[in-house]
Amino acid sequence: MRINKILPVALAATLCSGSVFAQEFTQEQIDAIVAKAVDKALAERQAKMDAAINKKADVIVEPQTTAQEPDKAIPYGVKFSGYARYGAHFQSGDQKYVGVDGSYNGASAIGRLGNEGNGGEFQLSKAFRGDNGAIWDVNVMFDHWGDEVNLKKAYAGVTNLLASNPNAYFWAGRDFHQRPQQGINDYFWMNHDGQGAGVKNFDIGGVQFDVAAVAAVESCSPTVLEDEANPSRITCTGGSNVGDKGNYAVTSKIHGMKVGPLDLEIYANYGFDSKAIESEDRQRAWQGGVVLSHTNDHGVNKVIARYSDNSDNSVFNKTDDLTAVYASFEGSYKFSQQTQVDYLLAFHDYDNSANKADNRRNYGAIIRPMHWWNDVHSTWLEAGYQRVDYDKGGDNHGWKLTLSQNISIAMGLEFRPMLRFYVTGGEVDNKRTARVNGTDDNTLDSFNVGAMWEAWF
């Protein structure tokens, strides 16, 4: 380094001119003095760099989109996050994606590995700190799961507002709301995405309480008008609109509770309609849910139970005289750092006393063993079975098997990005569908090959 060449010469000159005793220093003493001066200069330079970095981040509470985590730094600038998956999926059989007719519990109720389409959700967030110490954030998210790009989030929130409840997070706007999800079958067993206001993580005696009032977002299906006075002749561009649809919900959740070694969550929701809905179509609905989970060194097991009256997984969408029960057991077990297995057993009962033609029960089972050969390469195998048993007309059933070879950023199920190369086979026998339609037995064979990337960040 240049400083190593300059300092010895300058220091030696100073010593010689400053005292006649300089000539009596040994070479080892001179080297030690030079080394000390160099270390001091480098330390001062590093201190200036650290001070510049520290000006960009204050160690305070950073609001999160799902929960507030203390002792985080507000990010400098705008934070970019999201989830996405895109790739090619080649169909050589009867079904591009293996599915049983009449299935209700999940877009991939028979298993999602090698059996899901493309899309993504992309979010920008900015956090601020007020002079009073309150921490604010503003979040905007767009998604792309079809032909349209939709605005899914546009909300603001604040935490560290109440001295008695510093972790309480108050929010208002449009947000993903109360959508607990099961990963292996991609099922939101509750879903109340919409716009409204509420509070999360309000502490009541050591128990966390969430409550909100939300409205379903109005949406539209584009149609072409015959009236040429409209230049575009299109009623709308599709997807989400900006106003309320007229369906509302009051949602609540109690969490952070312990029952012995088990974690307990309780959900309770109530749905109603405004006068934007015609009087004869206005209805009410309610639902309750319980989650019991247990975590240990080898993994986690979870039991979910949900009961809905006049609705299924959302009290926004109401059906008179409908009762729906959903129950599942899911978990993950780690045999070692390199080998683990995920599994799910699910039951869904759909019972409409006013229209019994579609009454049915769903039974599903999925198992996914996974092995990491190293911190980059892994092999996954997923097997799924599903039966949809109708009260009238018989049943539909099917199976799916997927083998996937993966390349990921690190070892473990939670790490993304990931490149996935897979082959999927399966067979579906929709006997009940064929009988109702008056056709021959509808057996569908599938064999698909694909490659995709998946990431959350």
Structural domains for the chain: 87-117+164-456 (2.40.170.10)
pTM of the model: 0.80
> What letter would DSSP give residue 16?
H
Tell me the CA distances in angstroms from 247 to 221, 237, 397, one per residue in order: 18, 22, 34
CA-nearest of 369, 374, 395 to 384 is: 369
- ∠ Cα 129 133 136 (to 5°): 40
- Integer Cα distance of 410 and 374 in angstroms: 9
Q: Quick one: CA dihedral 389, 351, 286, 312, positive or negative?
A: positive
What pLDDT digit, counting tens, does each position of 127-147 carry? 999 888 899 999 999 999 988
Number of neighbours of residue 197 by Cβ within 10 angstroms: 14
Please give the pLDDT value at position 223: 66
Give the Cα separation of 219 and 145 in Å (integer).
15
pLDDT tens figures, 232-261: 555 666 677 888 999 999 999 999 999 999
What number is the average pLDDT over the span 327-340?
96
User: 211-222, pLDDT tens digit by residue?
Assistant: 999 999 988 766
* Mean pLDDT value across the chain: 85
**pLDDT for the residue numbered 69:** 47
Share of the chain above pLDDT 70, in %: 79
pLDDT tens digits, residue range 363-374?
999 999 999 999
pLDDT score at 14? 42
CA distance 247 to 439: 39
User: Cα–Cα distance between 13 and 136 in angstroms, integer?
Assistant: 58
Averaged over 145-153, what is the pLDDT? Answer: 89
Look at residue 46 in the predicted model and tell me its pLDDT. Answer: 65
The whole-angstrom separation of Cα 165 and Cα 171 is: 15
Residue the block writes with tokens 């039991």: 303
pLDDT at 65: 41
- The confidence band for 51, taking pLDDT boundaries of 50, 70 and 90, is low
Tell me if residue 148 falls in helix, strand or coil. coil
Q: What integer pLDDT is reported at residue 226 of this predicted model? A: 65
Task: Please write down the long-range contacts of 355-360, taking CB distance under 8 Å and 24 or more positions apart.
Answer: 355/321, 356/391, 356/392, 357/392, 358/102, 358/390, 359/390, 359/391, 359/392, 360/102, 360/388, 360/389, 360/390, 360/391
Contact 420, 452 (CB under 8 A): yes
Question: d(Cα 102, Cα 81) in Å, to the nearest integer?
Answer: 35
The yes-or-no verdict on residue 45 having pLDDT over 90 is: no
Ranges of beta strands (E only) in 335-376 are: 339-352, 360-372
Residue 33 clears pLDDT 60, i.e. is over it: yes
Residues of the chain with pLDDT > 90, as a percent, come to: 67
Alpha helix segments (H runs only) across 121-176:
none
- Going by C-alpha positions, the residue among 342, 324, 320 that lies closest to residue 333 is 342
Burial, 171: exposed, middle or buried (Cβ in 10 Å; 0-12, 13-18, 19+)?
A: buried
Long-range contacts of 144-153 (CB under 8 A, 24+ apart): 144/119, 144/120, 145/117, 145/119, 145/120, 146/119, 146/239, 147/238, 148/237, 148/238, 148/239, 149/239, 150/239, 150/240, 151/240, 152/121, 152/176, 152/193, 152/240, 153/65, 153/123
Question: What's at 267, amino acid-wise?
Answer: Y
Residue type, 433: T
User: What are the tokens at 291?
Assistant: 């989650």
